[in-house]
A = this chain, B = another copy of it.
Amino acid sequence: MAKKSTKKDDRPDRLRELLRVPPGTETDLTAYDAEAVPVGPEDKAAGVAATAAMAERLAELQERLYAAGTAGDRRRLLLVLQGMDTCGKGGTVKHVIGHFNPAGCRIRAFKAPTPEEQDHHFLWRINRELPRSGEIGIFDRSHYEDVLIARVRELAPREQIRRRYDEINAFEKALAEDGVTLIKVFLHISYEQQRRRLLQRLDNPDKHWKFNVGDIEERALWPAYQKAYELALTRCSTAEAPWYVVPADRKWYRNWAVSQLLLEHLEELDPRYPAAGGFDVEESRKQLLAS
């Protein structure tokens, strides 16, 4: 089967159309090349430059989104990052926040659920961390863990996992209807790239704290995780909340692609600065000059 990255002739105008998992189709991750550069900059220097060139526009769009939120615009954005260990979720969070004013972002990393979280439905802890009007939420892992590690490690009965896909779709549809633009990103790395990144952690004593033997145990379950991701992408890439597969073996491409996805969505939202509300600009100017 041809790697999707080779379809250079078909490249659509927008990255989101190229990377989106078409709703209703079976996802086969082996058809996606994690090293691919399917559209956009083709080398690191060009990628870094293209990403930097987006920064001002992204910052302005975020400020507009936030400003609109203070005036009753309920729209908000939620970036969900998922992927295998070492795929670069943390690095992506750091990169993305660099574009934005952190005051308008709500960043949350979801780890193994606490006893309190386990006492609730799996969407309970997610609901508490959603972005408010005008904000950009950034999730490092998410409710998808409950159909990923939960499936692979059999943390819940298979029948319950199956119900969760529908619950997730209903949840995300309700969010979308309430003004949330969901951008769900699977950071796709190759098995070989994960080995290299884990070895780098071992090679540098300053990185040993990032390593634990559990990483090797999880890696041994790679095929089961890929299957779990394929199911999640197949069942939960919907019209309201599609999944995007971002090739993530190259960090510069990953950063460019996620920035570009954010830009395309923010440009579509096209939020506007609200007009002066409840005050007379000239009168206020006079008062200030006299103060």
* Distance, CA A82 to CA B161, complexed state (A): 47
Q: Does the CB pair B205–A276 fall under 8 Å? A: yes
Q: Of all chain B residues, which has the CB nearest A59?
A: B94
Q: Does the CB pair B284–A211 fall under 8 Å? A: yes
Q: Of all chain B residues, which has the CB nearest A210?
A: B67
Distance to closest chain B CB from A104 (angstroms) = 10
Which residues of chain B are near A209, meaning CB under 8 Å?
Answer: 67, 70-71, 273-274, 277
Q: Does the CB pair A211–B90 fall under 8 Å? A: no
Q: Does the CB pair B277–A219 fall under 8 Å? A: no
Q: Is the CB of A25 closer than 8 A to any CB of chain B?
A: no
Q: Is the CB of A140 closer than 8 A to any CB of chain B?
A: yes
Other A-B contacts than A67-B206, A219-B288, A220-B291, 6 sampled, CB-CB below 8 A, are A94-B103, A97-B102, A102-B102, A198-B288, A202-B284, A202-B285
Chain A residues proximal to chain B, CB less than 8 Å: 67, 70-71, 90, 93-94, 97-98, 101-103, 107, 109, 140, 195, 198-199, 202, 205-206, 208-213, 216, 219-220, 273-279, 281, 284-285, 287-289, 291
